[in-house]
Amino acid sequence: MENKLSVKVCTGTLCYVMGGAELQLLESYLPAEIAARVDIKGAPCLDCCNRTDAGKAPFVQVGDRIVAEASLFKVAEVIKEMLKAEGKWAE
């Protein structure tokens, strides 16, 4: 399926140590109908940790949006919100 929402989970060491390791479970955490609409990839350092305005690690990029202090719950909420905005999913 084309046009899946891109989700990049930072696997850089800083993000990983600061709680990002847990985000590796994102795919199995998401309900199946949402998991089917996203393309989850591990990404090398998103370079957010070197910016002062990006907030705190761990970082995940959902579409063009950077999620700081990312948790499974928080990322799932952003994914749902963006899918809804694009009209690709309704609760």
Partner 1 sequence: MGGITNNAMIIRRELMTRIARLLMQGKLEEQVDRIPLELRPKGSTDISRCCIYKDRAVLKYKIMAMLGFHIQDEEDELTPLAEYVRQAFRRTEVSDEPLTVVDAACSACVKANYVITNMCRGCVARPCLVNCPKNAIRFEGGQAKIDSSKCVNCGMCQKNCPFHAVVYVPVPCEESCPVGAISKDEKGIEHIDYDKCIYCGKCLVACPFGAVMEKSHMMEIFRAFREKRQVVALVAPAIAGQFRTPLENIVGAILQLGFHDVVEVARGADVTTANEAAEFEEKMKAGQPFMTTSCCPSYTASVRKHIPELEPFVSHTRTPMYYTAEMTRKKYPDAVLVFIGPCLAKRFETFQDPNTDYMLSFEEIGAMFVAAGIDVAQSKPADVGAGIDPSGRGYPVAGGVAGAVGKKLAGRVDYRSVAFDGIDKARIRELKGLVRSCSGNMVEVMACEGGCVNGCDVIANYKVASRQIGELVKK
Question: Which residues contact partner 1 (rule: CB under 8 A)?
Answer: 11-14, 16-19, 21-22, 24-25, 42, 44-45, 71
Half-sphere exposure of 36 (CA within 13 A, CB side): 6
For the bound state, the minimum distance from the C-beta of residue 25 to partner 1, rounded and expressed in Å, comes to 6
CB of 74 to partner 1, least distance (A): 11
Closest separation in Å from C-beta 70 to partner 1: 10
In the block, tokens 């998991």 appear at 35
- Does the N-terminal peptide bond of residue 58 adopt cis geometry, omega within 30 degrees of 0? yes
Nearer to partner 1, 11 or 66 (CB): 11
The residue behind tokens 């905005």 is 85
Please say which residue, 21 or 85, places its beta carbon nearer to partner 1: 21
C-beta of 47 vs 86, nearer to partner 1:
47
69 Cβ contact partners less than 8 Å away, ≥ 6 residues apart: 55, 56, 57, 58
